[in-house]
Structure 1
Amino acid sequence: MGDTFFSPFFELLVGVDYIRKMIEEGKEANEIKRMWKTDVERFKVQRTPYLLYEEY
């Protein structure tokens, strides 16, 4: 895929560089999703004090 596909904007959109690296290494989609899910769960905990409304 290389630099043509992975412009600097790609990492700006996803917010991390490990997704690009994992794709380039040929990792399976499920493995990438598992790692991404861990980050999402960590973010949900981190944002809790700043929520204006209760989450359902």
Structure 2
Amino acid sequence: MMADMPHWVPPQKPDMMQQIREMEEREKQRNSHRQTDNTNTTKGMNPMEFFTKYAVKD
């Protein structure tokens, strides 16, 4: 009966190569997000950059 008893199996940890691939994929997503932010949108823009770009010069 002990052989049929349920037991907890820890989840497998990703190996080093899989972690590197995941980090590279996240970096690609961040870079593509930055490129879309630069095209006439102000979402996610640095406040200092926003005010220096759109400030009215007296």
TM range (shorter): 0.3 to 0.5
- Structure label with greater radius of gyration: 2
TM-score normalized with structure 2 length: 0.38
Higher relative contact order, chain-length normalized (CA < 8 Å, sep 6+): 1
TM-score normalized with structure 1 length: 0.39
